[in-house]
Amino acid sequence: MNPTVLRIEALTVRYGAVTACAELSLSIRQGEFAVLLGANGAGKTTTLRAVSGLVRPASGRIELDGGDITRATPARRTARGVGHVPEGRRILPEHTVEENLLLGAFARRRDRSGVRASLREMYDLFPRLGERRTQRAGTLSGGEAQALAVARALMSRPRLLMLDEPSLGLDPRRVAEMFEYLARLHREQGLTVLLVEQQARVALAYADRGWVLDRGTVALAGTAAELAADPRVRHAYLGAP
Ligand code: ATP
Protein backbone atom coordinates (compact mmCIF):
# COMPACT_ATOMS: atom_id res chain seq x y z
CA MET A 1 0.00 0.00 0.00
CA ASN A 2 1.18 3.52 -0.73
CA PRO A 3 2.28 5.68 2.20
CA THR A 4 -0.10 8.18 3.77
CA VAL A 5 0.42 11.72 2.46
CA LEU A 6 -2.16 13.56 4.54
CA ARG A 7 -3.52 12.56 7.92
CA ILE A 8 -6.06 14.69 9.75
CA GLU A 9 -6.81 13.58 13.29
CA ALA A 10 -9.70 14.86 15.41
CA LEU A 11 -9.54 18.31 13.82
CA THR A 12 -11.73 20.93 15.45
CA VAL A 13 -11.96 24.44 13.99
CA ARG A 14 -14.19 27.16 15.38
CA TYR A 15 -15.15 30.58 14.13
CA GLY A 16 -16.37 32.22 17.31
CA ALA A 17 -19.43 30.24 18.40
CA VAL A 18 -19.62 28.27 15.11
CA THR A 19 -17.88 24.88 15.02
CA ALA A 20 -16.90 24.36 11.37
CA CYS A 21 -14.93 21.11 11.88
CA ALA A 22 -15.81 18.84 14.80
CA GLU A 23 -13.21 16.17 15.59
CA LEU A 24 -12.86 15.44 11.91
CA SER A 25 -10.47 12.65 10.89
CA LEU A 26 -9.45 11.42 7.47
CA SER A 27 -6.33 10.35 5.64
CA ILE A 28 -5.18 10.15 2.05
CA ARG A 29 -2.57 7.86 0.56
CA GLN A 30 -0.06 8.83 -2.07
CA GLY A 31 -1.57 8.82 -5.55
CA GLU A 32 -5.19 8.89 -4.43
CA PHE A 33 -7.81 11.15 -5.96
CA ALA A 34 -10.13 11.93 -3.06
CA VAL A 35 -13.25 14.08 -2.86
CA LEU A 36 -15.02 15.85 -0.01
CA LEU A 37 -18.77 16.18 -0.48
CA GLY A 38 -21.37 17.79 1.74
CA ALA A 39 -23.99 20.50 1.93
CA ASN A 40 -23.16 24.20 2.16
CA GLY A 41 -21.58 24.93 5.50
CA ALA A 42 -20.59 21.30 6.17
CA GLY A 43 -16.97 22.32 6.75
CA LYS A 44 -15.30 21.37 3.46
CA THR A 45 -13.61 24.71 2.78
CA THR A 46 -12.54 24.99 6.40
CA THR A 47 -10.89 21.56 6.22
CA LEU A 48 -8.77 22.65 3.23
CA ARG A 49 -7.95 25.97 4.92
CA ALA A 50 -6.80 24.13 8.04
CA VAL A 51 -4.51 21.89 5.97
CA SER A 52 -2.89 24.85 4.21
CA GLY A 53 -2.62 26.81 7.46
CA LEU A 54 -5.09 29.59 6.70
CA VAL A 55 -7.12 28.86 9.83
CA ARG A 56 -5.81 27.77 13.19
CA PRO A 57 -7.47 24.68 14.66
CA ALA A 58 -8.79 24.69 18.21
CA SER A 59 -7.52 21.11 18.54
CA GLY A 60 -6.43 18.11 16.51
CA ARG A 61 -3.42 17.22 14.44
CA ILE A 62 -2.47 17.48 10.77
CA GLU A 63 0.39 15.45 9.31
CA LEU A 64 1.99 15.64 5.89
CA ASP A 65 4.15 12.66 4.93
CA GLY A 66 4.21 11.63 8.55
CA GLY A 67 5.48 15.01 9.84
CA ASP A 68 3.41 17.23 12.12
CA ILE A 69 2.42 20.46 10.29
CA THR A 70 -0.40 21.51 12.65
CA ARG A 71 1.44 24.66 13.71
CA ALA A 72 3.55 25.32 10.61
CA THR A 73 3.13 28.60 8.72
CA PRO A 74 1.29 28.52 5.36
CA ALA A 75 4.59 29.23 3.53
CA ARG A 76 6.28 26.32 5.27
CA ARG A 77 3.43 24.01 4.30
CA THR A 78 3.67 25.12 0.68
CA ALA A 79 7.38 24.40 0.77
CA ARG A 80 6.66 20.94 2.21
CA GLY A 81 4.23 20.13 -0.57
CA VAL A 82 0.76 21.44 0.19
CA GLY A 83 -0.78 23.02 -2.93
CA HIS A 84 -4.12 24.82 -2.55
CA VAL A 85 -6.37 26.21 -5.26
CA PRO A 86 -8.81 28.24 -3.17
CA GLU A 87 -12.44 28.92 -3.90
CA GLY A 88 -12.71 31.86 -6.28
CA ARG A 89 -9.21 31.18 -7.68
CA ARG A 90 -7.58 34.33 -6.19
CA ILE A 91 -5.28 34.99 -9.09
CA LEU A 92 -3.74 38.47 -9.28
CA PRO A 93 -5.63 40.24 -12.09
CA GLU A 94 -3.17 43.14 -12.50
CA HIS A 95 -0.21 40.82 -12.93
CA THR A 96 0.63 38.86 -16.03
CA VAL A 97 -0.09 35.18 -16.43
CA GLU A 98 3.63 34.42 -16.07
CA GLU A 99 3.99 36.56 -12.94
CA ASN A 100 1.10 34.66 -11.38
CA LEU A 101 2.81 31.37 -12.21
CA LEU A 102 6.15 32.54 -10.80
CA LEU A 103 4.44 33.47 -7.54
CA GLY A 104 3.36 29.84 -7.28
CA ALA A 105 7.04 28.84 -7.43
CA PHE A 106 8.12 31.37 -4.78
CA ALA A 107 9.42 28.68 -2.43
CA ARG A 108 11.60 27.32 -5.28
CA ARG A 109 12.88 30.72 -6.42
CA ARG A 110 16.55 29.76 -6.03
CA ASP A 111 16.12 26.87 -8.43
CA ARG A 112 15.93 29.07 -11.53
CA SER A 113 16.40 26.36 -14.14
CA GLY A 114 13.86 24.11 -12.38
CA VAL A 115 11.33 26.93 -12.31
CA ARG A 116 11.92 27.65 -16.03
CA ALA A 117 11.34 23.96 -16.76
CA SER A 118 8.11 24.02 -14.75
CA LEU A 119 6.91 27.10 -16.67
CA ARG A 120 7.50 25.26 -19.95
CA GLU A 121 5.65 22.25 -18.57
CA MET A 122 2.64 24.42 -17.63
CA TYR A 123 2.59 26.03 -21.08
CA ASP A 124 2.66 22.56 -22.64
CA LEU A 125 -0.19 21.43 -20.43
CA PHE A 126 -2.21 24.61 -20.92
CA PRO A 127 -1.25 26.06 -24.33
CA ARG A 128 -3.70 28.96 -23.87
CA LEU A 129 -1.66 30.15 -20.88
CA GLY A 130 1.49 30.07 -22.99
CA GLU A 131 -0.15 32.16 -25.69
CA ARG A 132 -1.24 34.66 -23.04
CA ARG A 133 1.80 34.64 -20.80
CA THR A 134 2.48 38.39 -21.08
CA GLN A 135 -1.20 39.30 -20.79
CA ARG A 136 -2.76 40.53 -17.55
CA ALA A 137 -4.47 37.65 -15.74
CA GLY A 138 -7.59 39.81 -15.36
CA THR A 139 -8.22 39.50 -19.12
CA LEU A 140 -8.52 35.68 -19.05
CA SER A 141 -11.81 33.84 -19.52
CA GLY A 142 -13.27 31.83 -16.60
CA GLY A 143 -11.81 28.57 -17.88
CA GLU A 144 -8.39 30.10 -18.50
CA ALA A 145 -8.38 31.72 -15.05
CA GLN A 146 -9.16 28.34 -13.48
CA ALA A 147 -6.37 26.74 -15.51
CA LEU A 148 -4.03 29.48 -14.24
CA ALA A 149 -5.06 28.88 -10.63
CA VAL A 150 -4.36 25.15 -11.01
CA ALA A 151 -1.08 25.76 -12.85
CA ARG A 152 0.04 28.25 -10.20
CA ALA A 153 -0.52 25.62 -7.49
CA LEU A 154 1.37 23.04 -9.58
CA MET A 155 4.36 25.41 -9.89
CA SER A 156 5.17 24.66 -6.25
CA ARG A 157 5.45 20.95 -7.19
CA PRO A 158 2.91 19.89 -4.57
CA ARG A 159 2.84 16.44 -2.96
CA LEU A 160 -0.85 17.09 -2.34
CA LEU A 161 -3.03 19.27 -4.57
CA MET A 162 -6.19 20.55 -2.89
CA LEU A 163 -8.86 22.20 -5.02
CA ASP A 164 -11.91 24.03 -3.68
CA GLU A 165 -14.84 23.96 -6.10
CA PRO A 166 -12.80 24.22 -9.28
CA SER A 167 -15.97 23.87 -11.39
CA LEU A 168 -17.50 27.07 -10.01
CA GLY A 169 -18.38 29.50 -12.79
CA LEU A 170 -17.30 27.16 -15.59
CA ASP A 171 -19.64 25.97 -18.30
CA PRO A 172 -20.15 22.17 -18.50
CA ARG A 173 -17.67 21.68 -21.33
CA ARG A 174 -14.93 23.44 -19.36
CA VAL A 175 -15.82 21.46 -16.23
CA ALA A 176 -15.31 18.22 -18.17
CA GLU A 177 -12.01 19.53 -19.59
CA MET A 178 -10.76 20.49 -16.17
CA PHE A 179 -11.58 17.10 -14.67
CA GLU A 180 -9.96 15.33 -17.63
CA TYR A 181 -6.86 17.36 -17.02
CA LEU A 182 -6.76 16.59 -13.29
CA ALA A 183 -7.34 12.91 -14.04
CA ARG A 184 -4.37 12.97 -16.42
CA LEU A 185 -2.07 14.54 -13.84
CA HIS A 186 -3.25 12.01 -11.31
CA ARG A 187 -2.78 9.08 -13.70
CA GLU A 188 0.46 10.09 -15.37
CA GLN A 189 2.29 11.83 -12.53
CA GLY A 190 0.73 10.03 -9.58
CA LEU A 191 -0.42 13.35 -8.14
CA THR A 192 -2.38 13.09 -4.89
CA VAL A 193 -5.57 15.15 -5.11
CA LEU A 194 -8.08 16.33 -2.51
CA LEU A 195 -11.05 17.92 -4.16
CA VAL A 196 -14.02 19.81 -2.72
CA GLU A 197 -16.81 19.78 -5.25
CA GLN A 198 -20.52 20.59 -5.37
CA GLN A 199 -20.95 18.69 -8.61
CA ALA A 200 -20.96 15.29 -6.93
CA ARG A 201 -21.74 13.30 -10.06
CA VAL A 202 -18.68 14.41 -12.00
CA ALA A 203 -16.47 14.35 -8.90
CA LEU A 204 -17.42 10.73 -8.09
CA ALA A 205 -16.83 9.76 -11.72
CA TYR A 206 -13.16 10.75 -11.39
CA ALA A 207 -12.33 10.22 -7.72
CA ASP A 208 -11.05 6.98 -6.16
CA ARG A 209 -12.83 7.61 -2.88
CA GLY A 210 -14.39 10.24 -0.72
CA TRP A 211 -16.13 11.45 2.38
CA VAL A 212 -19.44 13.16 2.95
CA LEU A 213 -19.19 15.82 5.65
CA ASP A 214 -22.10 16.86 7.78
CA ARG A 215 -21.81 19.59 10.39
CA GLY A 216 -18.07 19.40 10.45
CA THR A 217 -17.70 15.68 10.80
CA VAL A 218 -17.45 12.63 8.51
CA ALA A 219 -20.97 11.26 7.97
CA LEU A 220 -20.08 8.74 5.26
CA ALA A 221 -16.86 7.38 3.81
CA GLY A 222 -16.19 4.94 1.00
CA THR A 223 -14.89 4.32 -2.48
CA ALA A 224 -16.35 6.58 -5.16
CA ALA A 225 -18.43 3.64 -6.41
CA GLU A 226 -19.79 2.94 -2.92
CA LEU A 227 -20.70 6.58 -2.38
CA ALA A 228 -22.32 6.88 -5.81
CA ALA A 229 -24.47 3.81 -5.00
CA ASP A 230 -25.41 4.94 -1.48
CA PRO A 231 -29.10 5.93 -1.32
CA ARG A 232 -28.31 8.89 0.98
CA VAL A 233 -25.72 10.26 -1.46
CA ARG A 234 -27.98 9.58 -4.43
CA HIS A 235 -30.82 11.41 -2.79
CA ALA A 236 -28.91 14.38 -1.39
CA TYR A 237 -26.24 14.94 -4.04
CA LEU A 238 -27.11 13.08 -7.21
CA GLY A 239 -30.70 14.24 -7.61
CA ALA A 240 -32.29 10.80 -7.12
CA PRO A 241 -35.76 10.73 -5.48
P1 ATP B 1 -19.61 25.94 1.29
O2 ATP B 1 -19.83 24.92 0.25
O3 ATP B 1 -20.78 26.83 1.51
O4 ATP B 1 -18.31 26.69 1.16
P5 ATP B 1 -18.36 24.33 3.31
O6 ATP B 1 -18.76 22.92 3.49
O7 ATP B 1 -17.11 24.60 2.58
O8 ATP B 1 -19.54 25.12 2.66
P9 ATP B 1 -17.31 26.00 5.38
O10 ATP B 1 -17.16 27.15 4.45
O11 ATP B 1 -16.11 25.31 5.83
O12 ATP B 1 -18.31 24.93 4.76
O13 ATP B 1 -18.16 26.50 6.64
C14 ATP B 1 -18.42 25.72 7.79
C15 ATP B 1 -19.16 26.58 8.80
O16 ATP B 1 -18.33 27.61 9.27
C17 ATP B 1 -20.42 27.27 8.27
O18 ATP B 1 -21.37 27.27 9.29
C19 ATP B 1 -19.94 28.65 7.96
O20 ATP B 1 -20.99 29.58 8.04
C21 ATP B 1 -18.91 28.88 9.04
N22 ATP B 1 -17.83 29.80 8.59
C23 ATP B 1 -17.00 29.60 7.54
N24 ATP B 1 -16.10 30.62 7.44
C25 ATP B 1 -16.37 31.45 8.44
C26 ATP B 1 -15.80 32.69 8.91
N27 ATP B 1 -14.74 33.23 8.29
N28 ATP B 1 -16.36 33.28 9.99
C29 ATP B 1 -17.42 32.72 10.63
N30 ATP B 1 -17.99 31.56 10.26
C31 ATP B 1 -17.49 30.94 9.20
Q: Which atom of ligand 1 is nearest to the CA of 196?
A: 7
Quick: pLDDT tens for 116-141.
Answer: 999 998 998 888 999 999 999 999 98
Residues framing ligand 1 (Cβ under 6 A):
15, 18, 20, 38, 40-46
Q: How many CA atoms lie within 13 A of 148 on its CB side?
A: 33
Q: How far is the CA of 59 from the centre of ligand 1 (A)?
A: 18
Predicted pLDDT at 120: 95
SS3 (DSSP) at 101 = helix
Among 13, 18, 49, 214, the mutation site with the greatest number of ligand 1 atoms within 8 A of its Cβ is 18
Residue 29 confidence class, pLDDT cut points 50, 70, 90: very high
Predicted pLDDT at 57: 98
Averaged confidence pLDDT in the chain: 92
Running DSSP on this structure, what letter comes out for residue 136? B
Quick: pLDDT tens for 223-241.
Answer: 999 999 998 888 887 776 6
The mean pLDDT of 164-187, rounded to a whole number, is: 84
The mean pLDDT of 137-166, rounded to a whole number, is: 91
User: Distances from the Cα of 96 to the Cαs of 25, 111, 114, in angstroms?
Assistant: 39, 21, 20
Query: For ligand 1, atom 1, which residue shows the shortest CA distance?
Result: 40
Can you tell me the distance from the alpha carbon of 200 to that of 131, in angstroms, rounded to the nearest whole number? 33
User: What domains lie within the chain, and their CATH numbers?
Assistant: 1-81+192-238 (3.40.50.300)
Lowest mean pLDDT among 130-134, 182-186, 191-195, 227-231: 182-186
If one counts every other C-beta atom within 10 angstroms of the C-beta of residue 176, the result is: 14
Quick: pLDDT tens for 66-116.
Answer: 999 999 999 999 999 999 999 877 899 999 999 999 999 988 888 999 999
Q: How far is the CA of 45 from the centre of ligand 1 (A)?
A: 7
